[in-house]
Amino acid sequence: MKRIANIASIFILFLSTYTYAQQNPHYTQYMYNMVILNPAYAGARADLTIGGLSRTQWVGIEGAPTTKTFSLNARVVDGLGLGLSVVNDKLGLLENTDFNLDVSYTLVMGYHQRLALGIKGGFSNFSNNLAAGVTPDNDVYASTSGTYPNFGMGVYYYNDTWFGGVSVPQLFKTPKFRLDETYTAGITEFTNIFATFGMRFELNEDLYFKPSTMVKYTKGVPLSVDLNSNFLYKEFIELGVSYRYDDSVSAMIAILPNKNMRIGYSYDYTLTNLGKYNSGSHEIILLFDIDFAKRSRWLKGTSCYF
């Protein structure tokens, strides 16, 4: 049975653990997938940005998390940015897909200073295939599925050398980790709050140093802190390392064939006891920027950290 009893038992436990603590997926290359987490980012990078990401976590553990994202966002007029994002997340017996529309408005705070406010809204489809699970006590659960709404918000400040943002991408309760169909809509007390910050230092005409950090807070869950150090050489190749506090270390590489395209890869090595049972996590990201007539409300992408 392909170890279904043991594996399903593990993820039934995961579902029970997360029943009261909803979690958004982790991304190692979050600084280039920001619109998924912060709607205020819509329109900030280019006139039109198209992005895709695929993450396979804890390779070697059956039913381990996998995440795929697709997004496009664009500058419209008078500081208005629009975006569309789709996130598919699988964890053991659970599959969840988010569909969101992002809207941002950018304020000019100075010659090289911008402040953007954003909101995110949409819905999610989930499916818990609990009937396929086997527990140590041979308990049987009915499969559940359904749709629930989503709403989030964020703020994003940036200039020609650094950026900072705070966002709450999901404010409503989710039934996706529940073991039964009882669900009361409303604001969750277990919101995921993301804070991001990054800078760009010119070491010489060919080399840039790009440190960044992301802090994620959820009530009842240990604080998650990512620390990243990236080096960009000749606007063509980027190498970096990342450390997630008390969780993992990562190596990153990206190729920029031209100023409008990024191909990135990261590998995470787990530092917890779970590392004994998997060979790490892999993440691939593709970004395409399309520039039309530049709109003065935004800074040029080449002037910013992104």
Compute the average pLDDT of residues 38-65: 91
Q: How many residues does the chain have?
A: 306
The whole-model pTM stands at 0.85
Question: How many angstroms separate the first and last alpha carbons of the chain?
Answer: 47
Is residue 94 very low, low, confident or very high in pLDDT (cuts 50, 70, 90)?
confident
In angstroms, the CA 76 to CA 225 distance is 34
86 pLDDT exceeds 90?
Answer: yes
pLDDT at 130: 66
Tell me the per-residue pLDDT of 242-260, one tens digit each, with 9 for 90 and over.
999 988 999 999 999 998 8
pLDDT at 267: 97
In angstroms, the CA 213 to CA 160 distance is 18
User: Which residues face 85 on adjacent strands?
Assistant: 71, 100
**Looking at the domain 4-303, which fold is it?**
Porin (2.40.160)
In angstroms, the CA 26 to CA 280 distance is 14
User: 278-281: which pairs have CB atoms within 8 A and are 24 or more residues apart?
Assistant: 278/58, 278/59, 278/60, 278/61, 278/64, 279/59, 279/60, 280/58, 280/59, 281/28, 281/55, 281/56, 281/57, 281/58, 281/59, 281/248
Provide the CB-side half-sphere exposure for 19 (13 A, CA).
Answer: 11
Mean pLDDT, the chain, rounded, equals 84
| Closest C-alpha to 152, from 132, 131, 122 | 122
What beta strand segments (E) does 26-176 contain?
48-56, 66-75, 80-91, 94-110, 113-128, 144-159, 162-168
Which segment, 77-81, 174-178, 281-285, is predicted with the most confidence on average?
Answer: 281-285
Is residue 78 very low, low, confident or very high in pLDDT (cuts 50, 70, 90)?
confident
What residue spans of 208-295 are helical by DSSP H? none
Q: Which residues contact 17 (CB under 8 A, 6 or more apart)?
A: none
Contact 102, 118 (CB under 8 A): yes
Beta-carbon neighbour count of residue 222 at 10 Å? 11
